[in-house]
Each structure stands twice: as C-alpha cells, then as structure tokens.
Copies of this chain bind each other. A is one copy, B any other.
Amino acid sequence: MSKETLVGSLIIGQSGGPSSVINCSAYGVIKTGLENPNITTVYGAFHGIKGVLNDQLMIMDEEDPKELENMLHTPSSALGSCRYKIADPDVDDTDYKRILEIFKKYNVRYFFYNGGNDSMDTCNKISKYMNRVGYECRVMGVPKTIDNDLAGTDHCPGFASAAKYIATSFMEVSRDSQVYDTGMVTVVECMGRHAGWLTAAAALAGVKNDGPDLVYLPEVDFSMEQFVADVKRVYKEKNNCLVAVSEGIHYADGTFVSEAKTSGTDGFGHAQLGGLAARLTDVLKAELGVKVRPIELSLLQRCASHCASGTDIAEAFMSGKVAVESAVAGSTDKMVGFKCTRDENGYKCEPELFDLSLVANTEKKVPLEWINEAGNGVNQGFIDYCLPLIQGETGMVKEDGLPRFVNLKRVFAK
C-alpha cells in the first residue's frame, strides 16, 4: 500500500449481467470520486472495458449531481455493460497496450471495475500489467452479482435485492396457487447456473409460512425419480405443492436437467419442451396427472429495483465509496467485500479488502450444511445468513405512479 498522494482522473466501468443495485455501487464510486480533491475527472466507461478500448468515456462531472442520485434506484448498468473477456497479457497484450494508451491520454490513475468473477479477473490482469510496465494506477474491484458466488466476501451486492424479490414473489405465488380447492403444483425456476443462492432465497418466504414446499439447488445432484416422488408426497398431503428449482440443477453425471436428451438421463422419456420449468412441468403432468404450472422468473429477478433491499442499496453504495477512499489512501489490486457478524446484537456489515487474485475466477456455493439431507430444502443456517440482507425498503421516487430512473446526458470525452 502506497502512502503517496496520487492525483489524476478516475474511470469506473460496469461489466457482466446487471443487477438492481449495481448502479448504487457505481454511484458510490462516482459521488466519492467527484468529491475527492485528488481525483481530477471522473469518467464512466461506456459498456465496460470496451468503452476504454474504444475511447468512449462519459464525463461524469458533466452530469447533474441531483440526477445522478437516481442511480440508487435504477436497475441495469447505467454506464452500459459488456461481456468482453480480456486476453492473457502473456499471450496477447494488444488490449493492454490500448488501455495504457487511453490511461495516459486522460491521466487515469484510478480504475474501478464493477462486476462479478470475470470482471475481478479483468481488474486483476489490468492491475498486474500496469504494475509491470511501471504505470502508476490504483485498480479496485467493486463487486456485483446476483449469483452471490464471489469468494471471500460474506455476500455480494445485488444478491440481497434479487433474494428479496424472489422471496416476495414466492409469498405472492404461494397465496395465489392455493386459491382453488382443486389442487395445483407450481414450479418456479430461479437463476443460478452453478450456485443455488437465489433459489435458496425462495425459502425466506417460509419465514412467513408462505414458502416453497421443495427447493432444489445445483449444489446437490438431481434425481428425476426422487423429484417426482417428493412432489407426489407433498401434493397428497396438501393438495398443493410449490417448488423452487435452480436453472442449474443437474444429474449425477453432470448433465443439466434443462439440456438432457429425451432418451437419456431423465428416465421418463417425455417430450422435452421449452425451459427447465416447462420441462419439469411436463414430467409432473404425465406422472401425477394434476394441474401443473411453470413460472420462470427470468430477467425480472435481476432488475426488480422496485422491490430492492434497503440494506443492499446501502451496502452497494458503501462498497463503491470505500473503493475510492481505499484507493486514494494507497490500496490497489483489491476488491471491496464485506465482513459480517450475525449475533445477539443483530447484523453488522463492515467493508473488507480482498486480494483480486484470490477472488478472480473462483465460485462460492451454498454450503452443504445448509441443505437438508433429502436435498430438497434449506435449513435455518441459510435463513439466519440471508434474512438480515433483505431488510429495509427502497427509497425509489415515483413519478406518474412509475419508477423514476436515472437519465444520463452521456457527454463523451474528446
């Protein structure tokens, strides 16, 4: 950690799939950057690292500070995102040379990248490269992922808001799907290809007795036979069954259930149509002969800022703010994560810096001790972990009865 004062401009970029609060983190960076005397100009990279490569930098100093506040309640990535995987500099350093050129052109001394695993990797590579070529630049990762799968940190900004939306929607669907006396099975598919955090969040609805009866995560091998038997049992008992499934559930051989061939691993041989929820619905209809409805939460779960968690909004902002403060104080090559305590004094969340190299490209999954033995539910351990994160409501301003999202002028640097 360098103690020397470093004066120069700052770039913030956003990358990967957006969330309800990724703009809160970016706003934390932008606002803190604009207010810091060591930072001469704050630039927003248009569509992440591609904006740097293409010399498309938005001057955030040109935006109305009052308007920027609306970033706190605007989903998606206000600066634009990308899914650009940067090369290994030892193999191809074209991009890095270009980045260095742009950094020099605008005297960029602070670079912040707001995203998930891949973004932390990008961040780490840029940091190492700048260090190698002797260009002084402090590089910080500002985490974001609804998937909650970043290593080190207690949780990731973005996850809690998606979790709150999922739990709320499950409560509502639970009431709706039990309205008739004729019985119904409802299968709700949540995001999470490799980690089951979002699907597990459905279980929070159970705190209010309106939760799913069965929860299937990718952390555990899926068996179609067991699944059908589970649903049959619950339906027989309740004349109803609400199921949460992760898009990433897979058979023991690793095949995703959503992609398995008819004649293959599912063992039932039904025609397989549409997405995972539709596929499971077909199997249940054929095996149980009852009414089954599939629901896929799709993009809705990652952009429902109208149902964001107040805690998530505040923490996301804090992560951006702390990233700037730490970098100005001398930190580099770090990600701002959270260290949390949950005890008789309640929930407490403090920022903590993690080495980017430790975070990049590893995935944190739901611990097996939080999953029940039958592999069809989560236990109190998960609830105790997750419930504090969804507390508090959004302060979203409404106009015409609708959300007031940020509208940027997007003044590009010449």
Contact = CB atoms under 8 A, between A and B. Distances in A.
A82 B173 CA distance: 17
A239 B334 CA distance: 36
Contacts of A403: 168, 171-172, 208
Given A273-B273, A306-B307, A307-B307, A177 B402 contact: no
Contacts of A167: 402
A319 interface: no
Interface string A117-155: 000000000000000000000000000000000000000
A210 B81 contact: no
Interface string A247-270: 000000000000000000000000
A294 to B, nearest CB: 8
A178 B305 CA distance: 16
A244 interface: no
Interface string A196-215: 00000000110111100000
Contacts of A90: none
Q: How many copies does the complex hold?
A: 2
Interface stretch (A3-11, A35-43, A96-104, A296-304): A296-304
A391 interface: yes
B82 A181 contact: yes
Contact of A309 (B181, B297, B306, B401): B401
A329 interface: no
A111 B402 CA distance: 37
A239 to B, nearest CB: 12
A398 B392 CA distance: 9
A400 B208 contact: yes
Nearest to A390: B401
A47 interface: yes
Contacts of A278: 274-275, 278
A405 B171 contact: yes
B180 A305 contact: no
Contacts of A342: none
B171 A402 contact: yes
Interface in A317-353: none
Given A295-B298, A399-B208, A304 B172 contact: yes
Contacts of A407: 209
B274 A179 contact: no
A238 interface: no
A77 B175 CA distance: 8
Interface in A383-414: 387, 390-393, 398-405, 407
A168 B50 CA distance: 30
17 contacts: A74-B175, A76-B175, A76-B176, A80-B181, A82-B181, A82-B182, A83-B180, A171-B402, A204-B402, A205-B402, A208-B399, A208-B405, A209-B407, A293-B299, A309-B401, A387-B400, A390-B401
Interface of A: 18, 47, 50, 74-77, 80-83, 164, 167-169, 171-173, 175-182, 186, 204-205, 207-210, 273-275, 278, 293-300, 302-307, 309, 387, 390-393, 398-405, 407
The 8 A-B pairs of least Cβ separation, nearest first, read A274-B274, A76-B175, A176-B303, A172-B303, A390-B401, A391-B401, A76-B176, A273-B273
